[in-house]
């Protein structure tokens, strides 16, 4: 983990209530897709943990949905604003487990970390397939970005306005040609639970919890696993399927 | 050169800064960030006789200038703390530590303190009496002078280490409880623990915390903590470790002027992981600016 000052290069609306922010600063503590950053905001006591969507040596891209006070404040910040950020938090996804053709399953605000993961898997010469789930067509973001990576993308909406009608698990069940070696998932807990019961391969899931610190000090975000108590922020947010207690 | 040393029951600290229990784990998370040996001491995560997961999540909620937590004393239990956590802490922190002990009965306090008494790296035992007493309808030990005195006596009978009673602020008369602890042999007083509060999610129309209520900490509670340190200083002559919303060198000075000999930094560590280092580095220049050459001399200074 590092603490640093990051400059906002852009902050734009990419879908309904959904924003993409590009930050410039030290990214040396980011090691893996699936890690997150914790942002200090004027007017909020606690930092706001947001998963990293993409990064390179000098830039971090995050995509966040406006759901409360913190994300509303974040959405109003202008280019050039400096932010105090804790970077390189959490364990991230383990691409060594993927096999040749892993499924990347993202639901809504859980989609962003799948983008950096897809890029990494493609660098490793693997053939990932993305399943992106949204509630409605106006919530869709990054579809073209995933497709531009040259990977197969299945899109589904809960209301059927675009793509397969239903949830990501409907897409998995109803797509006969899907042949996958592993899965990575991030999204609402109900979605993760449905995937857990739908997909027979091994997998990794990224969880969300209200956090105090984001780096393992306060024990605010603990959960029970088969291998004892884990802190979502430090020992997670990514847990292996086999250790999840459901 | 200014002198930042303070003395707690025969233990000399390089400076009065002690990360508060529950906000610093067992130290090693922070040892990755900076050399934690610059700290005066360190109060490690509250430890109980048996391992505890704590309360259900969500157990963190934001408040204006502060936060609520209902972690509920998650810890691996005293045996594992001694066999696994303390050696790891000893590897990165070479000064005497403050062992924070909790219990749900007098027997549990005694059990833990007896074991912690044998640990050479422990300089002070800090006894958290904010927990509910399972033998008394869940009433917190810290809410009456009688029960606070009883736990003080119990702990004092099983250890020769200095015993600091950590008081709950959720009481009508904090001074009478501190006095009862002093009369029962306490070597010092730590205060304040968190204040009980709650938040409701107005969209879901339900409490945010799964536990409904939680303990309030952060800058919001600083004036309350300061007032209670002031009141306790007037009532007892044993040293006080002051805490509650401290987040700057100026806050440390203010706490000490109210009567604290040492100062703990809690919630601020969670938001600003380098805060204790920053405070320790700023303290000499803040002292100089205020014309303070020896920190010991300002303890309780505002009472004169």
Domains and CATH numbers, chain A: 2-89 (2.40.30.10), 95-206 (3.40.50.80)
Three-state secondary structure readout of chain B: CCECCEEECCEEECCCEEECCCCCCCCHHHHCCCCHHHCCCCECCCECCCCECCCCCCCEEEECCEEEECCCCCECCHHHHHHHHHHHHHHHCCCCEEEEECCCCHHHHHHHHHHHCCCCCEEEEEEECCCECCCCCCCEHHHCHHHHHHHHHHHHCCCCCCEEEECCCCCCCHHHHHHHHHHCCCCEEEECCCEEECCEECCCCEECCCCCCEEEECHHHHHHHHHHHHHHHHHCCCCEEEECCCCCHHHHHHHHHHCCCEEEECCHHHHCCCHHHHHHHHHHHHHHHCCCCEHHHHCCHHHC
The yes-or-no verdict on residue B131 having pLDDT over 90 is: no
**Tokens 């990794």, residue?**
A204
Active-site positions of B read: 131
pLDDT exceeding 90 applies to what percent of chain A? 98
Residue B163, in any domain of the structure: yes
Q: How confident is the model over B270-279, as pLDDT tens digits?
A: 999 999 999 9
The pLDDT assigned to B165 comes to: 98
Partner residue facing A212 (CB), from B60, B65, B208: B60
CA dist B192 and B160 (Å) reads: 24
Q: How confident is the model over B196-250, as pLDDT tens digits?
A: 999 999 999 999 999 999 999 999 999 999 999 999 999 999 999 999 999 999 9
Q: Is B63 part of the contact surface with chain A (CB cutoff 8 Å)?
A: yes
Residue B1, in any domain of the structure: no
Partner-chain contact A212 B64, CB within 8 Å: no
- Helix (H) / strand (E) element for A10: namely strand A2-15
Residues of chain A neighbouring B72 (CB-CB closer than 8 A): none
Partner-chain contact A218 B23, CB within 8 Å: yes
Q: Is A211 part of the contact surface with chain B (CB cutoff 8 Å)?
A: yes
The yes-or-no verdict on residue B291 having pLDDT over 70 is: yes
Q: Mean pLDDT of successive 10-residue segments in chain A (246 residues)? A: 97 98 98 98 98 98 97 98 98 97 97 98 97 97 97 96 95 90 97 96 97 97 96 97 94
**Counted domains in chain B:** 1
CA dist B110 and B143 (Å) reads: 19
Residue of B nearest to A218 (CA): B23
Q: Indicate if the alpha-carbon torsion angle B18, B22, B23, B26 is positive or negative.
A: positive
Residue B138 confidence class, pLDDT cut points 50, 70, 90: low
Q: How confident is the model over A57-103, as pLDDT tens digits?
A: 999 999 999 999 999 999 999 999 999 999 999 999 999 999 999 99
Residue B44, in any domain of the structure: yes
The pLDDT assigned to A177 comes to: 86
Instruction: Looking at the complex, report in whole angstroms how far the Cα of residue B297 sits from the nearest Cα belonging to chain A.
Output: 34
Residue of A nearest to B23 (CA): A218
**Domain with B189 in it:** 6-303
The yes-or-no verdict on residue B134 having pLDDT over 90 is: no
Q: Is B53 part of the contact surface with chain A (CB cutoff 8 Å)?
A: yes
The pLDDT assigned to B180 comes to: 98
Residue from A17, A45, A229, A237 to probe the interface with B (highest B Cβ count within 10 Å) = A45
Residue B14, in any domain of the structure: yes
pTM of the model: 0.96
Residues of chain A neighbouring B81 (CB-CB closer than 8 A): none
Query: Count of CB contacts below 8 A, A vs B?
Result: 85
Q: How confident is the model over B42-67, as pLDDT tens digits?
A: 999 999 999 999 999 999 999 999 99
The pLDDT assigned to A19 comes to: 98
CATH number at residue B129: 3.20.20.70
Residues of chain B neighbouring A227 (CB-CB closer than 8 A): none
Q: What is the mean pLDDT of chain A?
A: 97
Q: Is A3 part of the contact surface with chain B (CB cutoff 8 Å)?
A: yes
Q: What is the ipTM of this complex?
A: 0.94
Residue of B nearest to A219 (CA): B71
CA dist A233 and A231 (Å) reads: 5
């Amino acid at each position: 983990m590092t603490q640093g000052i990051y400059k906002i290069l852009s902050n734009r609306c990419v879908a309904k209530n959904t924003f993409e922010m590009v930050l410039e600063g030290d990214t040396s503590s980011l090691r893996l897709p699936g890690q997150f950053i914790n942002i200090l905001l004027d007017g909020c006591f606690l930092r706001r943990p947001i998963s990293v969507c993409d990064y390179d040596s000098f830039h971090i891209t995050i995509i966040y949905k406006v759901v409360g006070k913190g994300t509303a404040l974040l959405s109003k910040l202008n280019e050039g604003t400096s932010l105090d950020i804790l970077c390189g938090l959490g364990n991230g996804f383990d691409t060594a487990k993927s096999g040749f053709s892993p499924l990347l399953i993202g639901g809504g605000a859980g989609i962003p970390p799948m983008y950096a993961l897809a890029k990494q898997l493609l660098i490793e010469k693997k053939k990932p397939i993305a399943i992106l789930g949204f509630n409605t067509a106006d919530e869709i973001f990054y579809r073209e970005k995933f497709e531009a990576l040259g990977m197969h993308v299945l899109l589904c909406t809960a209301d059927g306005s675009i793509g397969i009608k239903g949830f990501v698990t409907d897409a998995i069940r109803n797509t006969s040609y899907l042949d996958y070696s592993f899965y990575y998932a991030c999204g609402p807990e109900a979605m993760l639970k449905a995937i857990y019961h739908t997909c027979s391969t091994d997998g990794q899931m990224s969880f969300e919890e209200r956090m105090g610190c984001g780096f393992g000090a306060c024990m605010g975000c603990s959960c029970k696993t088969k291998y004892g108590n884990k802190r979502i922020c430090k020992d997670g947010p990514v847990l292996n399927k086999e250790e999840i207690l459901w | 050169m200014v002198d930042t040393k303070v003395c707690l029951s025969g233990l000399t600290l390089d400076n009065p800064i002690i990360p508060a229990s529950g906000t610093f784990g067992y130290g090693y998370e922070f040892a990755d960030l900076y050399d934690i040996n610059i700290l005066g001491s360190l109060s490690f995560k509250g430890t109980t006789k048996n391992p505890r997961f704590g309360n259900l999540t969500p157990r963190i909620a934001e408040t204006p200038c502060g936060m609520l937590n209902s972690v509920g004393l998650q810890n691996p239990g005293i045996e594992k703390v001694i066999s696994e956590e303390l050696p790891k802490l000893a590897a990165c922190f070479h000064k005497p530590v403050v062992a924070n002990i909790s219990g749900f009965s007098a027997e549990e306090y005694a059990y833990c303190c007896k074991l912690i008494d044998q640990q050479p790296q422990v300089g002070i035992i800090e006894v958290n009496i904010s927990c509910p007493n399972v033998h008394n309808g869940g009433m917190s030990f810290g809410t009456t002078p009688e029960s606070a005195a009883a736990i003080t006596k119990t702990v004092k009978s099983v250890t020769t280490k200095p015993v600091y009673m950590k008081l709950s602020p959720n009481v009508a008369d904090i001074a009478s409880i501190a006095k009862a602890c002093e009369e029962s042999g306490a070597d010092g007083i730590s205060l304040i623990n968190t204040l009980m509060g709650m938040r409701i999610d107005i969209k879901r129309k339900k409490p945010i915390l799964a536990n409904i209520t939680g303990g309030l900490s952060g800058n919001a509670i600083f004036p309350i903590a300061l007032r209670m340190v002031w009141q306790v200083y007037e009532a007892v002559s044993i040293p006080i470790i002051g805490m509650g919303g401290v987040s700057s060198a100026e806050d440390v000075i203010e706490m000490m002027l109210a009567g604290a000999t040492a100062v703990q930094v809690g919630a601020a560590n969670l938001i600003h992981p380098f805060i204790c280092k920053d405070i320790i580095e700023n303290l000499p220049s803040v002292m100089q600016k205020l014309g303070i050459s020896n920190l010991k001399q300002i303890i309780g200074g505002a009472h004169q």
